[in-house]
Amino acid sequence: MTIAYISHPDCLLHQMGEGHPEKPNRLNAIEDQLIASGIFDLLQHHQAPLATVRQLERVHDSKYIEEVLSFEHKNKSAYLDPDTMITPQTPKAALRSAGALILATDLVLKGKIRQAYCNVRPPGHHALPSQAMGFCFFNNVAVGAAHAIAEYGIKRIAIIDFDVHHGNGTETMFTHEPRVMLCSTFQHPFYPFSGASSGNEHIINTPLSAGTSGDKYRETILSVWLPALHKFKPELIFFSAGFDAHQEDHMSMLNLTDKDYSWITREILLIADKYAEGRVVSTLEGGYHLPSLARSVLNHLRILMRIE
């Protein structure tokens, strides 16, 4: 079964300087792996559109959007937070990343395809309503979820955030929105040092200590996430798909393997099949060790495509 694959060359233009881990080659490494595996030709390819200001305003403040976009016409770069540099090329890349989620949501909710994956950067899940943070400018997955609510009246959306960092931006945006359930696993204590003492009935935070391996990780998903998801019965599922909890990725101290990413994708796909007519939109968040990132995305897509 094919899935939509949404990306855009503009996503490669944003660069935060020599040696920064959130680099354009992340997307190239993933694409190379998909090509080498033979899967690339089986995907339904789409170019990401630019998100509109109106679509961003569902989750971001107008003044902040204006500030980010203004850099397109400035001849300089600036640090919006200590890890996050904006350049004149950033606004276009950030608009394509958020726009990919709009297109993915449209394709899936119009019934044109069951699943979509967005191979985009900059990532989004740390972006707050009026603040860039942790390599993120616009909260792509939140823009997609808000679009599904506003345009299609979806009443129950689950966001599955398995990035190694807490999805603090997404939590902030939906903490008072019971139509969105956020399930976030993350190393704790660890950047951004939030999530352990927040959450509510529809924000399911599952902090994990450094050194956690796949067995303990799976146990947590089975005992915390899956019961919550079965109770919630999502009509649409998003993945904030970060692969930086991989044991080969030295960004963190969790020890997941390729197989763990396949496992969680399969478990969530079962939920999607049961309650959401299989509707899944996945978008790239973190993942900085290129070989393990590329293999893990390949496995994630293989499961979504039901190849194994």
Which spans of this chain sit near Zn ion (rule: CB under 5 A)?
163, 165, 242, 244, 286
Residue 21: CB minimum distance to Zn ion, A:
10
Instruction: Give the nearer residue to Zn ion in terms of CB position, either 125 or 147.
Output: 125
| Tokens representing residue 149 in the block | 């609510």
Asked about 126 being catalytic, the answer comes back as: yes
Cα 8 to Cα 139: distance, rounded to the nearest angstrom: 17
Helix (H, G, I), strand (E, B) or coil at 250: coil
Which residue in the list 125, 126, 246, 300 is annotated as catalytic?
Answer: 126
Instruction: Give the nearer residue to Zn ion in terms of CB position, either 195 or 286.
Output: 286
Instruction: Give the nearer residue to Zn ion in terms of CB position, either 106 or 244.
Output: 244
Instruction: Give the nearer residue to Zn ion in terms of CB position, either 106 or 260.
Output: 260
Residue 153: CB minimum distance to Zn ion, A:
31
Distances (CA, A) of 144 to 2, 90, 116, 166, 212: 21, 19, 12, 19, 31
Cα 36 to Cα 236: distance, rounded to the nearest angstrom: 31
Residue 294: CB minimum distance to Zn ion, A:
16
| Tokens representing residue 63 in the block | 């003044």
Residue whose CB is nearest to Zn ion in the complex, by number:
286
Residue 111: CB minimum distance to Zn ion, A:
32
E-state strands within the chain: 4-7, 44-47, 78-81, 84-86, 115-118, 157-161, 180-187, 203-208, 236-241, 280-284
Cα 77 to Cα 89: distance, rounded to the nearest angstrom: 9
Instruction: Give the nearer residue to Zn ion in terms of CB position, either 124 or 286.
Output: 286
Strand partners, 238: 159, 281
Residue 285: CB minimum distance to Zn ion, A:
6
Phi-psi region of 41 (alpha: psi -120 to 50; beta: other; left: phi over 0): alpha
Note if the bond before 189 is cis, omega within 30 degrees: yes
Which residues does the annotation mark as catalytic?
126
